[in-house]
């Protein structure tokens, strides 16, 4: 009564009854209690990560073939957690991850370069390929060595868009004893493939990108270079309580060999 500043009860020496204000307030009590219990339940679920949202960063130019199964399995198991997908260029994907704009990412990463605060799960390995126009003299080869490419013109991804893709060509060429002759840069993978298909130069991509070329570009395995690792990455210091459930979903799918 002091809190509401109304008189709720009629008090006599022999009885206590509700005032009109008391009866009006009493009618609202069941709804008030239901809302309170719902709020407490929601708070407990949120604290345990069973409600809320997650943002997963992905490469904007890729079709991530591993993602539909992950997404659907997670939604079945945790229907009250919203999983949002955000597409970025490769460089911006890494920046968004470092700045905490996303909770986790699907990335192509050398496992040996993982940072102290980073965790990752290996999803798939892809072979690195030399890509070239269909009428290129090397197009029919079963494989190629890096040193065989020293006299070739290169088309590369712009470093502002893909630091890993750009640096891979320069690093592998320098390790083979030559500097690549770069004739063109591309800001997107489809543009890179178009330039290569036109015969402007050669480049490198993982074999998982072959579907984008629609048979118009030759993919020849590149010898002597590491496989490309597609990984799910997150920060160990993340405070989003829903993130461990996504991690567990991915690990469970791997353990069970998929669906």
Q: State yes or no: pLDDT of 115 exceeds 90.
A: no
CA–CA dist 206, 125 (Å, integer):
9
C-alpha to C-alpha distance for 252 and 248, rounded to whole angstroms:
6
Residue 51 is predicted with a pLDDT of: 85
Q: Are 180 and 204 in contact (CB under 8 A)?
A: no
Quick: pLDDT tens for 69-106.
999 999 999 999 999 999 999 999 999 999 999 999 99
- Bridge partners (DSSP) listed for residue 131: 203, 219
Phi first, then psi, for residue 222 (nearest 5°) are: -100, 125
Q: Does pTM surpass 0.75?
A: no
Distance CA 219, CA 236 (A): 37
Contact present, 145 and 224 (Cβ < 8 Å): yes
Query: What is the rounded CA–CA span in Å between residue 112 and residue 97?
Result: 18
DSSP helix/strand/coil, 105:
strand
Quick one: average pLDDT of 195-217? 95
Tokens representing 184 are 């063109």
C-alpha closest to that of 222 among 169, 162, 158: 169
Give the confidence band of 43 by pLDDT, cuts at 50, 70, 90.
confident
Is it the case that residue 11 has pLDDT exceeding 80?
Answer: yes
> Among the ranges 32-46, 102-116, 220-234, which has the highest mean pLDDT value?
220-234
Distance (Å, whole) CA 58 – CA 204: 20
DSSP state of 202: B
Under the banding of pLDDT at 50, 70 and 90, the label for residue 249 is very high
Q: Which of 127, 125, 126, 123 is nearest to 69 (CA)?
A: 123
Tell me how far apart the alpha carbons of residues 111 and 119 are, in angstroms, rounded to a whole number: 10
Q: Output the pLDDT for position 232.
A: 95
> Residues near 118 by Cβ (< 8 Å), separated by ≥ 6?
233, 234, 235, 236
Is the pLDDT score of 110 beyond 70? no
Distance CA 149, CA 73 (A): 44
- Report CA dihedral (154, 88, 50, 121) to the nearest 10 degrees: 10
Element (H, E) at 11: strand 9-11
Contact present, 155 and 197 (Cβ < 8 Å): no
């Amino acid at each position: 009564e002091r809190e509401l500043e109304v008189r709720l009860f009629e008090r006599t020496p022999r009885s206590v009854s509700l005032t009109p204000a008391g009866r009006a307030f009493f009618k609202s009590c069941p709804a008030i209690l239901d809302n309170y219990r719902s709020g407490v339940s929601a708070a407990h679920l949120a604290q345990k990560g069973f409600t809320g949202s997650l943002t997963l960063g992905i490469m904007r130019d890729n079709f991530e073939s591993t993602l539909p199964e992950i997404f659907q399995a997670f939604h079945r198991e945790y229907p009250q957690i919203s999983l949002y997908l955000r597409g970025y260029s490769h460089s911006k994907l890494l920046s968004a991850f470092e700045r905490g704009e996303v909770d986790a990412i699907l990335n192509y990463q050398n496992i040996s370069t993982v940072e102290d605060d980073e965790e990752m799960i290996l999803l798939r390995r892809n072979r690195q390929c030399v890509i070239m126009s269909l009428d290129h003299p090397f197009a029919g080869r079963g494989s190629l060595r890096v040193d065989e490419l020293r006299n070739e013109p290169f088309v590369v991804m712009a470093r502002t868009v893909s630091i890993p893709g750009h640096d891979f060509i320069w690093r592998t060429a320098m390790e083979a004893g030559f500097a690549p002759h770069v004739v063109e840069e591309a800001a997107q993978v489809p543009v890179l493939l178009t330039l290569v298909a036109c015969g402007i130069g050669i480049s490198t991509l993982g074999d998982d990108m072959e579907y984008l070329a629609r048979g118009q570009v030759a993919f020849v395995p590149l010898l002597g270079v590491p496989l490309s690792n597609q990984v799910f990455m997150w920060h160990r210091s993340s405070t989003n309580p829903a993130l461990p459930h996504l991690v567990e979903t991915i690990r469970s799918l791997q353990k069970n060999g998929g669906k």
